[in-house]
Amino acid sequence: MKKFLPVLMALVIPSIAVAEDWRKGDDNQQKLDNVVKVIPGASTIMLQMGERYRNMYWAGKQGKWTFAEYQLEEIEELIKTLIITRPKRAVTAEHFLKEAFTELSPAIRQKNWPVFNKAFLHMRKACVECHAQNQHAYITLSATPSKGNSPVLD
């Protein structure tokens, strides 16, 4: 078998097609088409939002206010990304940005759990309303997420 391995490899390796890297080609339309195909959809962005939502709640509950503020900033950035990548969601996403955080950012700065929790529930209500406006009313959120997923919260 050892004698035949180099011969076998010589026969097989040239027949393996190496795909051309479309990123290095000259066809700008193909590049654009491929980039558009891989832009994350709303569901991918919402999965990230869910993680941030849970982590922000638990950061507030644990008094980790800087981390709570970071989660809020990341949620805002995700919504802004959604507005760009999914234009048909722009109107409801922009409304969400204006409505959801009116109480939350000041509550985080106050570093006060009861005030934060009330503001968090206000944001949750805005989330649920936005889902309903986008024909996803079945997507609801817990008012008290069971756990955060960041090691910062361990």
Write down the pTM of the prediction.
0.79
Does residue 116 surpass a pLDDT of 80? Answer: yes
Return d(Cα 153, Cα 117) in angstroms, integer: 17
The number of C-alpha atoms within 13 Å of 142 and in the hemisphere containing its C-beta is 13
- Nearest CA-CA partner of 139 in 55, 39, 53: 53
pLDDT in the model for residue 2:
63
Answer for the pair 77, 69: CB distance below 8 angstroms, yes or no.
no
Average pLDDT of the residues of the chain:
89
Coil/strand/helix, residue 130: helix
pLDDT in the model for residue 35:
87
pLDDT in the model for residue 31:
87
Answer for the pair 120, 57: CB distance below 8 angstroms, yes or no.
yes
DSSP 56-75: HHHHHHTT-HHHHHHHHHHH
Spell out the domains of the chain, with CATH numbers in brackets.
42-142 (1.20.120)
User: What are the pLDDT digits (tens) for 43-68?
Assistant: 999 999 999 999 999 999 999 999 99
CA angle 143, 146, 148 (to 5 degrees): 105
pLDDT (mean) for 73-91: 95
pLDDT in the model for residue 21:
86
Band of pLDDT at residue 23, cut at 50, 70 and 90: confident
